[in-house]
Chains A and B, each alone.
Chain A
């Protein structure tokens, strides 16, 4: 099956390790991801705060192009921010005829047609539902034995639409990591918000949330945290030192779920972008492997 692929701005910038690992894992599993031609920014939360109607038209251009070029293909969207924005556009256009009218006219001016028939899917969803745990297990060559993982979902992958998992207590990643041979620790903050852009705009708030999330994972004795979103990863990794300076020492590497999947499939750390972590996960990974060998 072929999927269209919407990377979004973060995966081409500070979240490039996510793109590297998503592409490597899908390629390894023999699933084709075809990048949408000349995609534009989805608009994220900021655009919607300024101009709602135009924000839907902006997001819809990507959906229209995907539908035009790959009519049969669902669209894979790894960034939670893009995922919720694009999904919301599909929902709102269905629910509000006036907005549908607006969006249709706007796309029409650019010569685009859109029937709202492209499902927007997260790679975690595709891996769990379409590929399935059996096929994933078959691909495992280096089980993650001994590795204790805190699964962190963040907010916008499961809310508000809950397309494939529970809105407050999701389990997809938990089940995936267990299938990879890892140990999943109980992590009650799994869907607490990371603060989004607050780390930049209101550091006294953002850094505190970052600290709380990291500290909780440490308290649960996780070796590392796994995330599904480039903004969560950025906050928890890039602001970890500043948060530790403000609130107390904590050392908790945060990597993408696709990096863990890739490691279990025997792909190289380099190919999966692990060298791009600021708080390196390499010792945690080595330590777990050594403990498992004993």
Chain B
């Protein structure tokens, strides 16, 4: 029998992780959380999260880095800012979610074939290359990589969009790509 430890020992918590979250814009205030649960209550996505936003804030500040970064929650957050404007302690929960997404990406702990993180990457690359997004192409790419069956179930949708003149595979590009390149290079971490 494979017995797994489900609760952490105190010595396994990581202060470094807490400090890192607090060093990112929006994360400064997590220590002020009173665990009231308002954020979880107003969150439209909490029904679908494996940990509620309140739990994420708690675990982040107590140094449960691994659990937080592997949680599906951060990828279910749609950045609707409902939690942020309702939090009685002024914690920018949405920004904390962003910070955790980036930390998960940096460490490579994000769910590999989970469409939300895949889409974020593809989006990033498309902007990097062309300066603009083509939604039809992006959607196609994400479906292809994560759940190609949906291409079949969504065939009707494609037709509807074509009929109404809202579908296009033409990649829009900006003219001054050099300008964009110099803005995006050498800034922050190396590529």
Contacts and interface: CB of A to CB of B under 8 A. Distances in A.
Tell whether A and B belong to one assembly: yes
Interface of A: 9-10, 12-17, 38-41, 43-54, 57-58, 61, 84, 92, 95-96, 99, 102, 105-107, 109-112, 155-156, 159-160, 162, 167-168, 191-193, 195-198, 200-203, 205, 209, 238-239, 241-242, 275-278
A52 B102 contact: yes
A110 B188 contact: no
25 contacts: A13-B172, A14-B161, A16-B165, A46-B119, A50-B101, A50-B124, A51-B102, A54-B188, A58-B180, A58-B183, A61-B179, A99-B25, A106-B182, A106-B184, A112-B179, A155-B82, A160-B85, A162-B85, A192-B44, A197-B119, A201-B118, A202-B48, A202-B116, A276-B165, A277-B164
B160 A238 contact: yes
B124 A58 contact: no
A109 B172 contact: no
A45 B105 CA distance: 14
Q: Is the interface of A mostly helix, strand, loop or mixed?
A: helix
Interface string B129-148: 00111111001001100100
A200 B166 contact: no
A201 B116 contact: yes
B101 to A, nearest CB: 4
Nearest to B94: A160
B19 interface: no
B78 interface: yes
B92 to A, nearest CB: 8
Nearest to B167: A14
A155 B134 contact: no
Contacts of B81: 84, 155-156, 159-160
B157 interface: yes
Contacts of B167: 14
A107 B156 CA distance: 43
Given A47-B127, A49-B98, A200 B143 contact: yes
Interface residues on B, range: 35 or more
A47 B121 CA distance: 8
Q: Is the interface of B mostly helix, strand, loop or mixed?
A: helix
A41 B161 contact: no
Given A40-B131, A51-B188, A61-B179, A201 B78 contact: no
A41 B132 contact: yes
Nearest to A206: B78
A41 B137 CA distance: 15
A49 B118 CA distance: 11
Contact of B101 (A39, A49, A112): A49
A203 B166 CA distance: 21
Contact of A49 (B102, B114, B143, B150): B102
B166 A13 contact: yes
A205 B119 contact: no
B120 A50 contact: yes
B84 interface: yes
Contacts of A99: 25
A58 B80 contact: no
Contact of B115 (A44, A49, A201): A201
B2 interface: no
